[in-house]
A = this chain, B = another copy of it.
Amino acid sequence: MKHGVSPDTFPPRSHEAKRVSVVDAAASVFCREGYAGANIDLISAEAGVSRQTVYNHHGDKENLFVAVVRDLTERCNAGIFATIASFPDQPTDLEADLIAFAVRMNRNCICNRDGRFLRKLIQAEGERYPELFAEWREQGPGRTWSALAARFARLAFAGHLSIGDPDVAARQFLALVNAELQITFMLGGTPTEEEVLRSATNGVRTFLSAFARKKLPAGKQAALVHA
Contact = CB atoms under 8 A, between A and B. Distances in A.
A78 interface: no
B225 A201 contact: yes
A215 interface: yes
Contacts of A203: 172
Contacts of A35: 34, 37
Given A33-B36, A206-B210, A182 B188 contact: no
Contact of A176 (B175, B215, B217, B225): B175
Interface in A32-48: 32-37
Contacts of A198: 225, 227
A171 B175 contact: no
A206 B168 CA distance: 10
Contacts of A208: 220-221
Copies of this chain present: 2
Interface residues of A, number: 52
A61 B124 CA distance: 19
Given A214-B217, A224-B202, A172 B183 contact: no
Contacts of A207: 210
A210 to B, nearest CB: 4
A211 interface: yes
A179 B126 CA distance: 20
Contact of A137 (B37, B171, B180, B183): B183
Given A120-B124, A165-B202, A172-B206, 4 more contacts: A34-B34, A34-B125, A201-B225, A207-B210
Interface of A: 32-37, 119-120, 122-127, 133, 137, 141, 165, 168, 171-172, 174-176, 178-180, 182-183, 186-188, 198, 201-203, 205-212, 214-215, 217, 220-221, 224-225, 227
**Nearest 3 CB-CB pairs, A to B?**
A36-B37, A175-B179, A209-B210
